[in-house]
A and B are shown apart, each in its own frame.
Chain A
Amino acid sequence: MLKFVAWRLASLVPVMVVVTFMVFGLVLLIPGDPAVRIAGQDATVEQIEAVRDRLGLDDPFLVQYADWVAGAVQGDLGTSLFTSRPVAESISEALPVTLALTLTAIVISLCISVPLAVLAGLRRGTWVDRLATLGSSVGIALPSFWVGLMFVLLFSVTLGWLPATGYVPLSEDPVGWLRHIILPATALGIAAAAESTRQLRGSVIEVLQQDYVRTARAKGLKTRMVIGKHVLKNASVPLVTIIGLQTTFLLGGAVVVESVFGLPGLGQVAITAVTTRNIPVVQGIVLVAVVVAMLANLLVDLSYGYLNPRVRLHD
């Protein structure tokens, strides 16, 4: 198992090299000269040249890339072009908010989808099943920002139960944190839940027809053991794949939901950075998003090893 983990981690290195190269290169292709922006409209050619020299913008591409990677490895992602605040600092402030939002959305999506999918799979063709199938079609179709706005309208404006905007860190006030995170996370998690329900329902139905489920029943195991142990472990493989893919989409969706709910997450930082062409910040955010997505996929791969013992032995 340890060997499997080490091998998977090592295989991330070449992927990282390719990805960072692309991230760095693509951002430089964005039209507009950052030096001109920083120096201002009325700056002289000499002033612009000075800025360019300070930022190393005249260095060959590979040198710039090498400098950036060398810094990134040590946690230095450069400084913001306008505030000279370290990019790493802005990101490490905003990242926990986005991660909390995404993880809570995944948890909520699982809390909805697992019971619903199991019930629908067990009661295939009944009204429960039809309701779940219809619900997941609707859930996939609803955009999360709209769901978020409806939630604000209902739970904050009309009922006044939960705050519409703002954020409190978990470490300061767990209850306050939950009150602030629950609406955006649910808005974000509903589409994910819809997709997971659909996928898991299908695999539950498939697994229920397997001979080993009949064996488990023949042993006299209680239904909750047959379902919770023998069916779910096998049915989870496609679900885990979906969750891995969803993590990336949820990170993207978080950007939108964060602005609806005014959460100080990566989304806010990203939007500001992109509109002002604050290139070091954009690069830093993309890099962090890529790393998070890759780690999520690593976790998915590791759980395959747990769920399907054959994968583990053939590393």
Chain B
Amino acid sequence: MQSIQPVTPAITLDVQDLVVDVLTEHGWATVVDGVSFTVATGETLGIVGESGSGKSVTCLAIAGLMPPRQSRVGATALRLLEHDLTSLSRSEMSDVRGRKIAMIFQEPMTSLNPAFTVGDQIAEVLRRHEGCSRRDSKQRATALLDRVGVPDPARRFTQYPFEFSGGMRQRVMIAIALACRPDVIIADEPTTALDVTVQAQIVELLRELQREQGMSVIFITHDLGVVADVCDRVLVMYAGQIVEEASIDDIFESPEHPYTEGLLASVPRMDLPSSELVSIPGQPPRVGAMPAGCRFHPRCSYRRDECVAAGTSPALEWAGPGHVTRCLRHHELTLEGTT
């Protein structure tokens, strides 16, 4: 599938037909299968899906962070502004990482090195990419700590990660990601491990920083509430494929894929009287054991013979302007969104 961004401003990141295989006990297995998308400058793209849907692997592969001997990454195009990421050597890729493309991970408790001060871990990015002296990098790192809302930054600079709370550590991770003013920040479930009140603060901080710096953000999450809050556009991933892509309003109001409908239905609602929790029946397929035909069919309540008969998974089809789905029956189905 080609990029579906209609009339876009500048494209920051362009991913076409990304395929990632990983080495399992039973040999090579495809975990990301033909993923294509673009991110416009200043845009926030959400990627949602269950664990194992390939959303994190997609982003690790873009950043060149998949382990070399245990994985294979291929793509027809992988462009970050003027850089063709597929043609870069490992050393050239490391020049891009941390400077043009930065990452924030899910586990702030384990993502910082326990043996070095927080300040050093921020400052070393500046020393690596911008050739800062020790003193300059310290000054700038302290300013970054201040910017991400860490109180008393000069003192905090010399402290170790274990002296920080989860929320404060995630702020440090954001400071590290932000240090070189990257063009894209990939935030991989940045709030999942945090308390709800802290989650809101971190999301707010990311939004603020994005407005301020005009960078693009890829927000990986399984929390549709956060998606509604921060994203302009959403990719829904299932079993290594994109199954639906649409603007934030379209996804919530008129989903075109039964899986998306299931995800929306499983968000607990406080405003409706029927308070029973809804979930999608069954389990996502295991890696290397994909069902024939549509990969979602074993769990889909709208399934017909044609969904299985095709043998291969359906292609992405237009369902409206800027809206694609991988469902054969999307014309006949009227799926329920939320309002």
Determine whether the beta carbon of B125 is less than 8 Å from that of A309: no
- Does A130 reach chain B (CB closer than 8 Å)? no
Give the one of A211, A218, A233, A307 with max B CB within 10 A.
A218
**Which residues of the other chain, A, contact B116 by a CB distance below 8 angstroms?**
229-230, 233
Determine whether the beta carbon of B97 is less than 8 Å from that of A310: no
**Which residues of the other chain, A, contact B113 by a CB distance below 8 angstroms?**
212, 215-216, 230, 233-234
Closest-by-CB residue of A relative to B162 is: A310
Q: Please report the total number of A residues contacting B with Cβ < 8 Å.
A: 22
- Does B84 reach chain A (CB closer than 8 Å)? no
Cα–Cα distance between A310 and B161 once the two chains are bound (Å): 10
- Does A32 reach chain B (CB closer than 8 Å)? no
Interface size class of B (residues with CB under 8 A): 20 to 34
Q: What mask results when residues 4 to 15 of chain B are scored 1 for a CB within 8 Å of chain A, else 0?
A: 000000000000
Determine whether the beta carbon of A221 is less than 8 Å from that of B124: yes
Partner of A210, one of B95, B110, B128, B162: B110
Closest-by-CB residue of A relative to B112 is: A212
Determine whether the beta carbon of B124 is less than 8 Å from that of A219: yes
Determine whether the beta carbon of A219 is less than 8 Å from that of B97: yes
Cα–Cα distance between A167 and B124 once the two chains are bound (Å): 47
Determine whether the beta carbon of A215 is less than 8 Å from that of B111: yes
Partner of A220, one of B111, B112, B115, B125: B125
- Does A54 reach chain B (CB closer than 8 Å)? no
Q: What mask results when residues 214 to 236 of chain A are scored 1 for a CB within 8 Å of chain B, else 0?
A: 11111111110100011001100
Q: Given A219-B97, A219-B176, A220-B99: A307 and B115 within 8 A (CB)? A: yes
**Which residues of the other chain, B, contact A92 by a CB distance below 8 angstroms?**
none
- Does A276 reach chain B (CB closer than 8 Å)? no
Partner of B114, one of A218, A219, A225, A308: A308
- Does B223 reach chain A (CB closer than 8 Å)? no
- Does B63 reach chain A (CB closer than 8 Å)? yes
Partner of B94, one of A220, A233, A308, A310: A220
**Which residues of the other chain, A, contact B115 by a CB distance below 8 angstroms?**
230, 233-234, 307-309
Q: Given A217-B65, A219-B124, A221-B124: A212 and B129 within 8 A (CB)? A: no
Cα–Cα distance between A229 and B117 once the two chains are bound (Å): 13
Determine whether the beta carbon of A310 is less than 8 Å from that of B160: yes
Closest-by-CB residue of B relative to A236 is: B115
Closest-by-CB residue of A relative to B94 is: A220
- Does B317 reach chain A (CB closer than 8 Å)? no
Determine whether the beta carbon of A218 is less than 8 Å from that of B103: yes
Q: What mask results when residues 93 to 107 of chain B are scored 1 for a CB within 8 Å of chain A, else 0?
A: 011111100110101
Q: What mask results when residues 224 to 258 of chain A are scored 1 for a CB within 8 Å of chain B, else 0?
A: 01000110011000000000000000000000000
**Which residues of the other chain, B, contact A216 by a CB distance below 8 angstroms?**
113
Partner of B110, one of A212, A229, A307: A212
Which A118-172 residues have C-beta < 8 A from chain B? Answer: none
Q: Given A234-B113, A308-B114: A219 and B128 within 8 A (CB)? A: yes
Cα–Cα distance between A308 and B161 once the two chains are bound (Å): 12
Give the one of A211, A215, A220 with max B CB within 10 A.
A220
Cα–Cα distance between A233 and B112 once the two chains are bound (Å): 14
Closest-by-CB residue of A relative to B180 is: A220
Partner of A218, one of B91, B98, B162: B98
Distance in Å: Cβ of B127 to nearest Cβ of chain A: 10
Which B42-74 residues have C-beta < 8 A from chain A? Answer: 63, 65
Determine whether the beta carbon of A214 is less than 8 Å from that of B105: yes
Cα–Cα distance between A309 and B91 once the two chains are bound (Å): 32
Partner of A222, one of B91, B99, B107, B176: B91
Q: Given A212-B113, A308-B114: A225 and B128 within 8 A (CB)? A: yes
Determine whether the beta carbon of A309 is less than 8 Å from that of B105: no
Determine whether the beta carbon of B114 is less than 8 Å from that of A221: no
**Which residues of the other chain, B, contact A233 by a CB distance below 8 angstroms?**
113, 115-116
Determine whether the beta carbon of A218 is less than 8 Å from that of B99: no
Closest-by-CB residue of B relative to A312 is: B160
Closest-by-CB residue of A relative to B64 is: A217
Which A300-315 residues have C-beta < 8 A from chain B? Answer: 307-310
Determine whether the beta carbon of A214 is less than 8 Å from that of B111: yes
Distance in Å: Cβ of A230 to nearest Cβ of chain B: 5
Determine whether the beta carbon of B98 is less than 8 Å from that of A211: no
Which A164-223 residues have C-beta < 8 A from chain B? Answer: 210-212, 214-223
Cα–Cα distance between A143 and B63 once the two chains are bound (Å): 49
Determine whether the beta carbon of B124 is less than 8 Å from that of A215: no
Distance in Å: Cβ of A273 to nearest Cβ of chain B: 45
**Which residues of the other chain, B, contact A218 by a CB distance below 8 angstroms?**
63, 65, 97-98, 102-103, 105
Distance in Å: Cβ of A277 to nearest Cβ of chain B: 51
Closest-by-CB residue of B relative to A230 is: B113
Cα–Cα distance between A34 and B215 once the two chains are bound (Å): 87
Chain B residues at the A interface, C-beta cutoff of 8 Å: 63, 65, 90-91, 94-99, 102-103, 105, 107, 110-116, 124-125, 128-129, 160, 162, 173, 176
Q: A218-B63, A308-B115 are in contact. List 17 more A-B contacts (CB 8 A).
A: A214-B111, A215-B105, A217-B94, A218-B65, A218-B105, A219-B125, A219-B128, A219-B176, A220-B96, A220-B125, A220-B129, A221-B98, A230-B113, A233-B113, A234-B115, A309-B115, A310-B162
Complex A-B, nearest 5 residue pairs according to Cβ-Cβ distance, in ascending order: A220-B98, A220-B97, A219-B98, A211-B110, A212-B113
15 A–B contacts, CB within 8 A, in A order: A215-B103, A215-B111, A215-B112, A217-B65, A217-B97, A219-B98, A219-B125, A220-B96, A220-B97, A220-B125, A220-B129, A221-B94, A223-B94, A309-B114, A309-B115
